[in-house]
Chains A and B, each alone.
Chain A
Amino acid sequence: MADPVLSVKNLAVEFDTYGGTVQAVRGVDFDVERGKTLAIVGESGCGKSVTVQSIMGLTPMPPGRITSGSAMMGDIDIIGRKTINGEDIRGSQIGMIFQDPMTSLNPTMNIGSQIAETLIVHRGYSSKQAFARAIELLDMSKIPEAAKRAKQYPFEFSGGMLQRAMIAMAIACEPPILIADEPTTALDVTIQAQILDLLMELQRNNGMSIILITHDLGVVARMAEHVLVMYAGQIVEHGPVDEIFYRSGHPYTMGLRAAMPTNDPNAEQRLTPIDGSPPDLFHPPVGCGYFARCPHAMRICAEQPPQAHQLSAAHAAKCWLHHEANTQQVAQINLRDHAGEEPS
C-alpha cells in the first residue's frame, strides 16, 4: 500500500452521555489509496460514521472526545487541525456527502449559491465566478438545465437530484478525498445506481479517493476496491473486495453475507439473520466484540481480544479462529458456508 492519501492509525473516539461513556470507536487503522474506493461496512452504531466524522472534525466535542490516534495526510496529522499547508481540510481537502439529501441542504438558500459558497470561501472566487462554476458543476453531476436549476431551492428538487447537487458541492474544490456517508440509503434503487455511477465516473475523471460508508454489500461489490468491516467500534476484517466476499475471514463478515437476499426469483428460503444484538459499548467486552453472537465462539474469545491475522498480503481478520492451531478449522467453516447450508 504505497503512498496512501490518508492513513489512519489507532483512532479511538468516546462520547460522554448521561448513561456513562460510550466507546464508539476503539482503535481503528486504515489507509486510503489514491484514486481508489475504500468501503466501510457494518451495522448501525458500529462506529463507521463516527470514524469519518472524527477525521473531519465534525463530531461535536463535547460530548465527543478523540482519545487517541492520528490521521496522516502526507506528513501531517489532520486530527484536530482545520488547515493543511494553508488549505482548509473540510471542503478543500476532504469533501463529504451525507445520507439524507432532503435535509442536508439549507432550505432557504438556492442550490447554486450553496455550491458557490464553497468556492468563494476556499478558492477566493467572486460570487459571479463561483455561481458560473456552480452551474458547470451541476452540469457535471448530470443535472439537466443546470443554469435554471441552480437558481432553484432544495424543495424544488427530488431526492436523487439533491444528492447530485450535494456531490457537485462536495467536489467543487476538487478535494483529493470524498467521504460518502451512506450516500444512497435514502434513495430508491434505480436512483441509487445512477448516483453510484456518477461517483465512479467523477472518480475516473479527477482521480479522487472515495471513502464509502454503507451497510449495503451490493453497493460495496459495485464500488469498492478495498473493504473494511467494522463491528462494535473496531475493524474486524479488511481486505480487497473479492477476498472479503469470496474468502471471508471473520464470522461476522460471513454472517453479513449469509444475511444478503439473493436475486434468484426461485429462491424460497428465509434470510438468515445474525441473531442477537451488538455489545453494549458503555462496557465493551474484554475479548472479541462479536463473541456473544458468534456461532464459532471459543473460550478464548471471551477472555482475550483477538489480534489481526494476516490472511494474505492485504487481507486480515481479527479472529481467534485464525490463530495457528485453528487454521484448519476455519477453512472447513468457510467451505461449509459456501455450500449454502443452514447455519445452526
Chain B
Amino acid sequence: MWRYTFKRLLQGVITVWFIATATFAAMHLVPGDPLASDKAVSEEIRANLEAKYGLNEPVWKQYTIYLGNLAQGDFGISFTQKNRLVNDIIREHFPVSATLGLLAVLFAGLGGVIWGALTALYRNRLPDIIIMFLVILGISVPSFVVAAFGQLGLVSLNNLAGFNVLPVGGWGTVAHMLVPAMVLGLSTMAYLTRLMRSSMLEIVSSDFVRTAKAKGLPPTRIFTAHQLRNAVLPVITVLGPAIAAITTGGFVVELVFAIPGLGRYFVEAVQQLDYTVIMGTTVFYGAFLVFMVIAVDVIYGFIDPRVRLE
C-alpha cells in the first residue's frame, strides 16, 4: 500500500511538471505582451521584471528560470496588481474556494449516494420517477441560472421571514456557505445520483446479494454491508475529479454570491494577460486536481481490497 502511494505521488509530480510546461508554452504562444497594456508600467519596473523573469532572454532560459522558481514554491509577482505576490493571492483566496468546494463536494457526495440508492430501491416507482426528473433538471440547468434562483430564493425567504434567516451574499460564517455550496454541488450531485443508481441496480441483482439473503441477514445489514459498500465504489472513483472540478469551477457561484474566492482572480488574470497569476493559479489548480485524484485512489484501496495489492 505504501509503495503504491509513493508510486502514485511520483506520477503526480511528473503530471504537475507536465502541466507547468504546457501552461508555460501556452502563455508564450498567446500573442500580446503583459507589460505593454494601457496601464503601462514605468521603465524601471519593466526593467526589473524583465531582469527577474529573463523576459529578454531566449525562451528556454525563461523556462528554466520559471521552473526553478516553481520548484522553490515561488509563483512570482503579479504583473498587473501592485505589490501582490501570486503566493499571497493563492494563500488568501484559495482557502475560501476550498472550504466552499469541500462543503459542496460533501453535499454532492452524500446527496448522490443517498438519492441514488433510494431511486434504485424504489426503481420505477414514484420516488424514483420524481428524483430522476429533478436529476435531469440538475444536470441540464447551468450553474449561473441555479445560482440566480438560489439567491432569489434566499431573498424571498428573508422577506417572508421578515429578518435575515440566511445572508444573501458575502463570506464569513457557515450561514454564508450553505446555499452557495448547494448551488455549486447541485450538478455534481445530480450526476452522482445517476451513477449511484445504475451501480446500485447492478448490485441489487448480483449473486452475492442473493447469497446474503440466503444467509438470512436482515435487510438493513444487507443494505449497509453488502449493497452500499460495493455500489459506492464507482462514485468514489469520480469523486476525485469532482472535488477538483467543484473547487476550481466556482467562478460563477463566487461572483453571484460575492464570495472572495480564487476563481475570480483566475478569470481576471486571463483577461489581463497577467502571466504569473495565470501560470501560478493554473499550476496550483493542476497540482490540486492531481493530488485529489491520488488521494481518492488511495482511499479507494481501503474500501476495495482488490486494488490494494497492485
B305 and A108 within 8 A (CB):
yes
CA distance A122 to B217 in the complex (A): 8
Chain B 66-110, CB within 8 Å of chain A: the 1/0 string?
Answer: 000000000000000000000000000000000000000000000
B206, CB-defined interface residue at 8 Å: yes
Chain B 267-310, CB within 8 Å of chain A: the 1/0 string?
Answer: 00000000000000000000000000000000000011110000
A88, CB-defined interface residue at 8 Å: yes
A155, CB-defined interface residue at 8 Å: yes
Nearest neighbor of A181 in chain B, beta-carbon distance:
B214
Chain A count of residues within 8 A CB distance of the other chain: 28
B304 and A107 within 8 A (CB):
yes
Chain B count of residues within 8 A CB distance of the other chain: 22
Contacting A at CB under 8 A, from B199-221, are 206-208, 210-218, 221
B13, CB-defined interface residue at 8 Å: no
A92: chain B residues within 8 A (beta carbon) = 216
A98 and B229 within 8 A (CB):
no
CA distance A105 to B211 in the complex (A): 7
A90 and B216 within 8 A (CB):
yes
CA distance A88 to B206 in the complex (A): 22
Contacting B at CB under 8 A, from A139-184, are 153, 155, 166, 169-170
The residue that B208 contacts in the complex, of A58, A107, A155, with Cβ under 8 A, is: A107
B23, CB-defined interface residue at 8 Å: no
Chain A 81-106, CB within 8 Å of chain B: the 1/0 string?
Answer: 00000001111100110101001111
CA distance A169 to B216 in the complex (A): 11
A117, CB-defined interface residue at 8 Å: yes
The residue that A89 contacts in the complex, of B207, B216, B217, with Cβ under 8 A, is: B216
Nearest neighbor of A92 in chain B, beta-carbon distance:
B216
B129: chain A residues within 8 A (beta carbon) = none
B303: chain A residues within 8 A (beta carbon) = 108
B217 and A108 within 8 A (CB):
no
Chain A 110-126, CB within 8 Å of chain B: the 1/0 string?
Answer: 10000001100110000
A56 and B214 within 8 A (CB):
yes
B218: chain A residues within 8 A (beta carbon) = 121
Q: With A90-B215, A169-B215 given, is the CB distance from A98 to B304 under 8 Å? A: no
B215: chain A residues within 8 A (beta carbon) = 90-91, 117-118, 121, 169
Residue in A58, A109, A110, A166 with the greatest tally of chain B CB atoms within 10 Å = A109
A91: chain B residues within 8 A (beta carbon) = 214-217
Q: What is the CB-to-nearest-CB distance from B305 to chain A, in angstroms, rounded to a whole number?
A: 4
A90 and B211 within 8 A (CB):
no
B217: chain A residues within 8 A (beta carbon) = 91, 117-118, 121
CA distance A107 to B231 in the complex (A): 11
A56: chain B residues within 8 A (beta carbon) = 214
CA distance A90 to B215 in the complex (A): 6
A105 and B208 within 8 A (CB):
yes
Residue in B213, B215, B226, B233 with the greatest tally of chain A CB atoms within 10 Å = B215
Q: What is the CB-to-nearest-CB distance from B309 to chain A, in angstroms, rounded to a whole number?
A: 8
A122: chain B residues within 8 A (beta carbon) = 216
The residue that B216 contacts in the complex, of A88, A109, A153, with Cβ under 8 A, is: A88
Residue in A56, A95, A103, A106 with the greatest tally of chain B CB atoms within 10 Å = A106
Nearest neighbor of B214 in chain A, beta-carbon distance:
A96
CA distance A104 to B217 in the complex (A): 15
B211: chain A residues within 8 A (beta carbon) = 96, 98, 104-106, 166, 169
B230, CB-defined interface residue at 8 Å: yes
Q: With A106-B226, A109-B225 given, is the CB distance from A90 to B213 under 8 Å? A: yes
CA distance A26 to B210 in the complex (A): 24
Q: With A100-B207, A106-B230, A107-B230 given, is the CB distance from A58 to B213 under 8 Å? A: yes
CA distance A107 to B303 in the complex (A): 10
A121 and B221 within 8 A (CB):
yes
CA distance A58 to B233 in the complex (A): 26
Nearest neighbor of A175 in chain B, beta-carbon distance:
B216
A103 and B230 within 8 A (CB):
no
A104 and B210 within 8 A (CB):
yes
The residue that A103 contacts in the complex, of B206, B304, B306, with Cβ under 8 A, is: B206
Nearest neighbor of A90 in chain B, beta-carbon distance:
B216
CA distance A56 to B212 in the complex (A): 13
CA distance A293 to B212 in the complex (A): 39
A109: chain B residues within 8 A (beta carbon) = 225-226, 229
A104 and B213 within 8 A (CB):
no
The residue that A106 contacts in the complex, of B208, B213, B216, B233, with Cβ under 8 A, is: B208
B221: chain A residues within 8 A (beta carbon) = 117, 121
A58 and B210 within 8 A (CB):
yes
CA distance A103 to B210 in the complex (A): 10
Contacting A at CB under 8 A, from B158-184, are none
The residue that A90 contacts in the complex, of B206, B214, B226, B230, with Cβ under 8 A, is: B214
Q: What is the CB-to-nearest-CB distance from B211 to chain A, in angstroms, rounded to a whole number?
A: 5
CA distance A95 to B216 in the complex (A): 9
B306: chain A residues within 8 A (beta carbon) = 107, 153, 155
CA distance A344 to B212 in the complex (A): 48
The residue that B210 contacts in the complex, of A95, A98, A108, A121, with Cβ under 8 A, is: A98
CA distance A153 to B230 in the complex (A): 14
B213: chain A residues within 8 A (beta carbon) = 58, 90
Nearest neighbor of A88 in chain B, beta-carbon distance:
B216
CA distance A155 to B230 in the complex (A): 14
CA distance A97 to B216 in the complex (A): 13
The residue that A108 contacts in the complex, of B207, B212, B229, with Cβ under 8 A, is: B229
A–B Cβ pairs within 8 angstroms, 6 of them? A88-B216, A91-B216, A104-B210, A105-B211, A107-B230, A121-B215
The 5 closest A-B pairs by CB, nearest first: A91-B216, A90-B216, A103-B207, A96-B214, A88-B216
- With A104-B207, A117-B215 known, 11 other A-B pairs at CB within 8 A are A90-B215, A98-B210, A106-B208, A106-B212, A106-B230, A107-B305, A108-B233, A108-B303, A153-B306, A169-B211, A169-B215
